[in-house]
């Protein structure tokens, strides 16, 4: 029999509705943007969803299916996509659908918390738009990020939905492979996915949803047990992205079985009940920048054998913040200028200006306060240019040093996921008293070798972890914990 054609479409971006900055094609080009056959060399070596899907297609589906790559687009978390950017992605997809009218399936990898300028539920819109073009018979498999906000429209038009089982996310590849395998079986008639979906009026985040820590540890363990039940194809739990201002915002559960709707419904409800049962457990409470610096100063022994990691939870770039928070840097300069500190900030103007200066020269600059002046005051700083670096992802990067303070100024936002961000600039983590990061979860294992003290620091910014302080306008009400409700 001829091989069945399955399309690869991936558009990944997590939107912060409170960011003043739009996400355009430029932001995708910074991270990853490939079309057609140009995707294949990357897919062969990718450790993310596309890599797992490629392996499923070429190994599990060998000689039975054929891969049709259409688009693979990733952008760092940020503000909503511009209308033109979303329209461009649709145009690329439509052109390919016309060229391949004989598709047997579509693998549509999305984040699940993407926003688009002047649009509600754009990923549901994209799925509905696809259905209008390919009909209801072609299966569409949709792997999502664990922080997706699953909507009724997404659940209606997807054949099945799956997701990561880890937070911090460590199973991108496995998620791509598993979803690819289910899609191949569906295309070949070996499986008939039946999906159950539950939505909860629940809004919790801010470090609360780590899979290997309580209160979520037991819930993720139960999910793994559920997937071992005969006939269960996928179990997904979605503690949604809290910085998305959407009418259907809230936690979700999705269970997919092989033609067993009753089992899918039972398990989806059980998982929702488990989530609801732990809703009143408090998430870790952050401290002020001033308190954080005092804690670091007091931790003398820990600083001798490693470093302290300060998570700037008001400016989480990996959750869509612009990355220009000056509050924490200001506290370091005022309270502990002699401590060896490595911090990062986004300021394209200063990065470009400093990049033109020779290493070893001194520079006076006004840093920050340009993108979100409602939260951040500009900071006057004078430092020596000690390192310069440039890449597609980071843009121009310059390290400015004054006494023990090292400020890494970059053109583009940086979440500082891994130690390599500082190490590639010649900064030795063993010599650091404190290091700042702008991501909420991944640093916890990437920096494990060096980290002796973790402090979540809250000042003011786009990613305030206290949902009571966020300026929601469109979310459903009532919702816990903003309202006193006793049922999801």
pTM, rounded to two decimals: 0.95
d(CA 349, CA 371): 11
Per-residue pLDDT of the chain (488 residues; tens, 9 = 90+): 789 999 999 999 999 999 999 999 999 999 999 999 999 999 999 999 999 999 999 999 999 999 999 999 999 999 999 999 999 999 999 999 999 999 999 999 999 999 999 999 999 999 999 999 999 999 999 999 999 999 999 999 999 999 999 999 999 999 999 999 999 999 999 999 999 999 999 999 877 899 998 899 999 999 999 999 999 999 999 999 999 999 999 999 999 999 999 999 999 999 999 999 999 998 878 999 999 999 999 999 999 999 999 999 999 999 999 999 999 999 999 999 999 999 999 999 999 999 999 999 999 999 999 999 999 999 999 999 999 999 999 999 999 999 999 999 999 999 999 999 999 999 999 999 999 999 998 999 999 999 999 999 999 999 999 999 999 999 999 999 999 999 99
d(CA 193, CA 264): 10
Rounded to an integer, what is the distance from CA 33 to the centroid of its chain? 17
d(CA 265, CA 388): 56
CA atoms within 13 A on the CB side of 74: 13
**Domains observed in the chain:** 4-277 (3.40.50.2300), 289-464 (no CATH)
Distances (CA, A) of 398 to 92, 331, 343, 357: 37, 21, 12, 10
Handedness of CA 113, 319, 442, 25 (dihedral sign): positive
DSSP 197-265: EEE--B---SS---TTSTTTHHHHHHHHHHTTSTTEEEEEEE---TT---TT-S-EEEEEEES-HHHHH
């Amino acid at each position: 029999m001829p091989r069945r054609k399955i399309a690869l479409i991936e558009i990944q971006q997590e939107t912060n509705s409170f960011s003043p900055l739009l996400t355009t094609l430029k932001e995708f080009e910074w991270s990853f943007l490939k079309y057609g056959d140009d995707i294949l060399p990357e897919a062969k070596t990718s450790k993310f969803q596309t890599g797992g899907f490629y392996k499923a297609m070429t190994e599990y589906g060998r000689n039975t299916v054929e891969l049709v790559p259409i688009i693979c687009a990733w952008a760092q978390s940020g503000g909503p996509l511009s209308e033109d950017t979303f329209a461009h992605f649709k145009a690329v997809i439509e052109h390919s659908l016309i060229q391949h009218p004989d598709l047997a399936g579509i693998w549509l990898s999305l984040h699940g918390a993407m926003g688009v300028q002047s649009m509600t539920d754009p990923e549901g819109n994209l799925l509905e738009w696809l259905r209008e073009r390919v009909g209801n018979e072609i299966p569409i498999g949709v792997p999502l990020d664990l922080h997706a906000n699953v909507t009724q429209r997404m659940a209606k038009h997807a054949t099945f939905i799956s997701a990561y089982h880890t937070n911090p996310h460590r199973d991108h590849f496995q998620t791509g492979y598993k979803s690819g395998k289910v899609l191949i079986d569906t295309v070949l008639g070996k499986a008939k996915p039946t999906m159950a979906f539950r939505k909860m009026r629940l809004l919790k985040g801010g470090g609360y949803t780590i899979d290997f820590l309580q209160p979520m540890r037991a819930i993720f363990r139960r999910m793994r047990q559920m997937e071992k039940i005969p006939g269960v194809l996928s179990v997904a739990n979605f503690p949604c992205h809290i910085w998305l201002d959407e009418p259907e915002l809230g936690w979700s559960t999705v269970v997919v079985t092989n033609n067993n709707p009753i089992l899918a419904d039972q398990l989806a409800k059980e998982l929702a009940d488990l989530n609801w049962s732990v809703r009143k457990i408090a998430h870790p409470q952050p401290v002020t920048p001033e308190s954080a610096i005092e804690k670091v100063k007091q931790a003398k022994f820990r600083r001798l054998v490693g470093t302290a990691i300060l998570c700037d939870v008001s400016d989480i770039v990996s959750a869509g913040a612009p990355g220009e928070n000056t509050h924490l840097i200001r506290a370091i300069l005022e309270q502990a200028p002699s401590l060896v500190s490595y911090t990062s900030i986004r300021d394209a103007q200063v990065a470009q200006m400093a990049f033109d200066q020779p290493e070893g020269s001194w520079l006076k600059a006004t840093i920050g306060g340009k993108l979100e002046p409602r939260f951040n005051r500009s900071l006057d700083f004078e430092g020596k240019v000690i390192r310069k670096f440039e890449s597609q992802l980071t843009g121009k990067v310059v390290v400015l040093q004054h006494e023990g303070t090292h400020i890494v100024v970059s053109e583009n936002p940086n979440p500082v996921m891994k130690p390599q961000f500082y190490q590639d600039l010649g900064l030795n983590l063993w010599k650091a008293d404190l290091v700042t990061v702008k991501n909420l979860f991944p640093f916890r294992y990437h920096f494990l070798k060096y980290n002796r003290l973790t402090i979540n620091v809250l000042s003011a910014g786009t990613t305030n972890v206290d949902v009571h302080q966020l300026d929601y306008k469109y979310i459903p009400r009532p919702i816990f914990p903003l309202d006193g409700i006793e049922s999801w």
